[in-house]
Amino acid sequence: MNLIITDNYNELSKKSAELIKEQIIHKPNTVLGLATGSSPIGTYKELIRMHKEEGLDFSKVITFNLDEYYGLSPENEQSYHYFMYNNFFKYVNIKPENIHIPDGKTKNVAKFCSKYENDIAEYGGIDIQLLGIGENGHIGFNEPDSALDVPTHLTNLTKNTIEVNARFFKSINEVPKKAVTMGLGTIMRSKQIILIANGDKKADIIGKMINNNVVTTNIPASFLFLHRNVAVIVDKEAAGNLKQQIA
Ligand code: F6R
């Protein structure tokens, strides 16, 4: 695990966008795994800048998003479909047919999830996956539990995740209680992973995840210790509880 501590969020976003850019230049038809939420907004802004100013080309890039709230349609302003179009896709030259986001309105969840897995496999797997981390250690919506699902699945969101994500909704009652998410196996099969965390609200979980040096289903992100090619990029605030830097 390669731990990178940056001075601020701007620098973090530039580093993470730089890794994605290198991958796209190396392989124009890169399969990109994407996250939503507050953490990647700066990365998307930087990738948009790279597209506009440096000609970074997304025309062959394929994307798969980590997750979507169950029950929300793409038109819903709180959906992750809406987030992705409005924070990233509409500003770059990505082809609509190359975009994949879990369907929050699917009638047949099991069929949808297995097709999502097959689609990823047919493109040769995810080349680079961008991840945020929940304050409880979730990645995607793989919440802390006694056992973690391997493939894409429908999951119950924890009380903590519902409370934390209520900031994006008019009231906490509007936050969906379930989501369709890539599983730990889907994420771990990505060839390269970038996890980004910023701000002091992430200091506790980043400290717990990294200081203890153990893998535990109580902190789903700790499974990243088992992956060969992970960059954890944190700003100074999120690094506030780290005891040591890891190699
Ligand atoms: C989002 C996702 C989540 C978020 C996490 C952190 O697609 O899968 O795991 O990355 O909840 O969210 P923010 O960045 O809003 O703190």
Least confident of 167-171, 173-177, 242-246: 242-246
Asked if residue 125 belongs to a domain, the reply is yes
Is residue 138 among the annotated active site residues? Answer: yes
Q: What is the pLDDT of residues 62-81, one digit of tens each?
A: 999 999 999 999 999 999 99
Alpha carbon distance 22, 123 (integer Å):
19
Catalytic site residue from 98, 136, 165, 198: 136
Q: In this predicted model, which residue has the larger pLDDT, 70 or 245?
A: 70
Q: Which helix (H) or strand (E) holds 159?
A: helix 159-165
**CATH number of the domain within which 35 lies:** 3.40.50.1360
Number of domains in the chain: 1
What is the per-residue pLDDT for 245?
Answer: 56
The phi, psi pair for 157, rounded to 5°, reads -80, 145
Asked if residue 84 belongs to a domain, the reply is yes
Q: Read off the tokens for 20.
A: 């994605």
Cβ pair 142, 183 in contact under 8 A: yes
Domain holding 69, by residue range, is 2-235
Asked if residue 181 belongs to a domain, the reply is yes
**In Å, how far are 112, 124, 145, 170, 174 from 153, measured between CA atoms?**
9, 20, 15, 27, 22
Asked if residue 121 belongs to a domain, the reply is yes
Beta carbons within 10 angstroms of residue 151's beta carbon: 15
Asked if residue 246 belongs to a domain, the reply is no
For ligand 1, residues with CB inside 6 Å are 35-39, 66-67, 132-134, 138-141
Q: What is the pLDDT of residues 126-159, one digit of tens each?
A: 999 999 999 999 999 999 999 999 999 999 999 9
What is the per-residue pLDDT for 247?
Answer: 45
Distance from Cα 134 to the centre of ligand 1, integer Å? 6
The fraction of the chain above a pLDDT of 90, given in percent, is 97
Nearest ligand 1 atom, CA 132: 10
Is residue 143 among the annotated active site residues? Answer: yes
Q: What is the pLDDT of residues 3-20, one digit of tens each?
A: 999 999 999 999 999 999
What is the per-residue pLDDT for 246?
Answer: 52
Q: What is the pLDDT of residues 54-66, one digit of tens each?
A: 999 999 999 999 9
Asked if residue 242 belongs to a domain, the reply is no
Is residue 65 among the annotated active site residues? Answer: no
Q: In this predicted model, which residue has the larger pLDDT, 239 or 245?
A: 239
What's the rounded mean pLDDT across residues 92-117?
98
Q: What is the pLDDT of residues 182-199, one digit of tens each?
A: 999 999 999 999 999 999
Distance from Cα 145 to the centre of ligand 1, integer Å? 17
Is residue 67 among the annotated active site residues? Answer: yes
Mutating to test ligand 1, I would choose from 38, 68, 133 the residue with most ligand atoms within 8 A of its C-beta, which is 133
The phi, psi pair for 219, rounded to 5°, reads -130, 85
Residue nearest (by alpha carbon) to ligand 1 atom 11: 134
